[in-house]
Amino acid sequence: MLLSLLSVYAIREAATLNLKKLVEKFGPEWAQNTVIPKVLAMSRDQNYLHRMTCLFCINVSGTHENLAVDW
């Protein structure tokens, strides 16, 4: 059971790191129009794991210098 939980965490972490790469590739305007609305919607999800993933996304996107988001 622990191994499967660690695998799920690793997948979520890899997804957020991929998000950072996508924002770097397509730019902050793309992120503002495409990604940020979905992340904000995920922040209101009933499932706490979805909300945790949202926090991971915010943490990663906060490191991009040209992405100004009013969370």
- Given a cut of 70, is residue 64 above it in pLDDT? no
Contact assessment for residue 33 and residue 67, using Cβ atoms and an 8 Å cutoff: no
Confidence of residue 70 (pLDDT cuts 50, 70, 90): low
Residue corresponding to tokens 């609305």: 37
Q: What whole-number distance in Å separates Cα of residue 30 and Cα of residue 53?
A: 20
Q: What pLDDT score does 56 carry?
A: 86
Confidence of residue 1 (pLDDT cuts 50, 70, 90): low
- The model carries a pTM of 0.70
